[in-house]
Structure 1
């Protein structure tokens, strides 16, 4: 193990600050990220800042957020979605307290106006010094579309046009668009982001995987993804990219890790659930399946979601140190 940040973690362990032994690791080309506190009682500005700055010190590649606009009364989607901060505002705040770690959102859904989102993300890309990754999704909650005044039908075609509008807004001197869903009169939309943020697309259906291969800079899995079967999805995106004349090797494959630290997970545990040793082994397995990025997202751990803020942060900071990519 090298000195510096990783050495600091070891010294802290020796001094009794952390209850578990910390093994730092780096897995070839795999990039390791961490999701900031964004949902529930622990998602305070102070905790966001603590996780973000420590993740940067520990060499994490990217900080991640997600979007949930509203929670319909009586819905059963779970506690993670009950109280969620806006991802763009959260990343803008974190851009000001960090300097090198990348900033990602997985995902913003296509019920928002693309020209407005293009402006917001362009500004975030500029103020962060070019650190943004923009993950986009079609959306699946009808009530959010209703609240935004957007149609729920034909979401796939809408999503493709959404990407087209974003890229025009970020690159064309005069932006003009006359599509099925969106219209922009000849306009200047400046300043331009430099470089334009890479776009990841989500989705698990075959048509969504093909769309990502044809149009995006990569694919991002959802919180409901069966990680044991992720390899065929990676292959489907790569195949679609190759058929579109694009280089599959240039794409990113980002896994949202619904990471749950559970000592003694057993043989029937789900990937990224178990001891720290289990989780590190799972990350290595995902790398072997073609995944290029994993980020550990404790917002989707029901034990974190239901804990008080102090206990949630204690567990999160322990995991942050134990799963550090520095090696």
Structure 2
């Protein structure tokens, strides 16, 4: 089973030195990948997310890519309906090429309606805009020239060019536990779930493998950990592995960088031998 770690680009521990140290540590410890999340703008008194200090995910991964050579670079997740697919496709293709093909696009529809309102994006159209956005990005990544008929996203693309195209395909893993999210994931390259306790993993894996049995479809889970519970993670990881989960990414909850680094190291030790 492969293991990833979330970078410290959120909250008071976020910063260029923290991100650099965490990315280098992840590579040295043998993690398979490093990850980031996304919120663009949040309500002042929101109970969640706990901090409005979200450093941009694509730029954060570019910073991490510059100080590493091996670890993959993942998003957990980009809220695709909030972004116009054309500039995002350009950013992701550039990152894929700068990193020599290490990017994994974890994507979700989003849930914070106020964030959609602030950006002028219809919240109730987010699923349709996400599907169309993925199709549009895949078109500009693979066609030259590109033609695309858009219905939900303002775009007119007729016999146009978008360079550079990715040096290799960017895998798309879909986050979310709703039926719509799972069905969307099954049409793409992987499922990146959250809040899935170990005792529920086997049933979810069985459901996904009934439709996508091949190794080309990745089943990934995101978990949280901190210095108080990381010792319990080895048993949980063993259950996930036995259930058929291929990848687990841990998001340390520690608020300062030294505690984060210690938790990341402890989590990696928990996964040794799995």
TM normalised by structure 1 equals 0.77
Structure showing greater Rg: 1
Counterpart check, 1:186 vs 2:159: yes
**Candidates 99, 105, 111, aligned match of 2:75:** 105
Does residue 196 of structure 1 match 2:162? no
Q: Report the Cα distance in structure 1 between the residues aligned to 2:196 and 2:41, rounded to whole angstroms.
A: 22
> Distance in 2 between the 1:78 and 1:191 partners?
35
Q: Which runs of 5+ in 2 are unaligned?
A: none
Query: In structure 2, what is the Cα distance between the partners aligned to 1:86 and 1:227?
Result: 31
2:60 aligned with 1:90: yes
2:248 alignment partner, one of 276, 281, 294: 294
Check the 8 A contact 1:210/1:237 in 2, yes or no: no
Q: What is the correspondence of 1:128-277 to structure 2 with a 5 Å cutoff?
A: 128-182=99-153, 183=155, 184-214=157-187, 216-222=188-194, 224-241=195-212, 247-262=213-228, 274-276=229-231
* Equivalent in the alignment of 2:18: 47
Which shows bigger deviation, 163-172 or 252-261? Answer: 252-261
How far does residue 129 in structure 1 lie from its aligned partner after superposition? 0.8
- Unaligned 5+ segments in structure 1 are 1-29, 242-246, 263-273, 306-311
**DSSP-derived class of the 2:3 partner:** strand
Q: Would you say the 8 A contact 1:239–1:248 is kept in 2?
A: no
In the other structure, the counterpart of 1:283 is 237
Shift of 1:194: 1.3
Aligned-residue Cα RMSD (Å) equals: 1.7
TM-score when scaled to structure 2?
Answer: 0.91
- How many pairs align? 268
Instruction: Tell me the residue number matched to 2:261.
Output: 317
Structure 1 residues 206-264: Cα deviation after superposition (integer angstroms, max 9, x where no partner)? 122111112x1101113x444532333333333343xxxxx5432111111111332xx
Helix, strand or coil for the counterpart of 1:52?
helix
Secondary structure, aligned partner of 1:204? coil
Aligned to 2:45: 74
CA contact (8 A) 1:257 1:294 kept: yes
Q: Secondary structure at the match of 1:235?
A: helix
SS of structure 2 residue aligned to 1:295:
strand
Q: Is the 8 A contact 2:198 2:236 kept in 1?
A: no
- Please give the alpha-carbon distance, in whole angstroms, between the structure 2 residues aligned to 1:83 and 1:146: 19
Give me the whole-angstrom Cα distance separating, in 2, the residues matched to 1:152 and 1:55. 36
The alpha carbon displacement at 1:58 in A equals: 1.1
Partner SS for 1:173: coil
Q: Distance in 2 between matches of 1:37 and 1:207?
A: 30
Provide closer, same or farther for how the CA distance between residues 275 and 57 of structure 1 changes in structure 2, counting only shifts above 3 A. Answer: closer
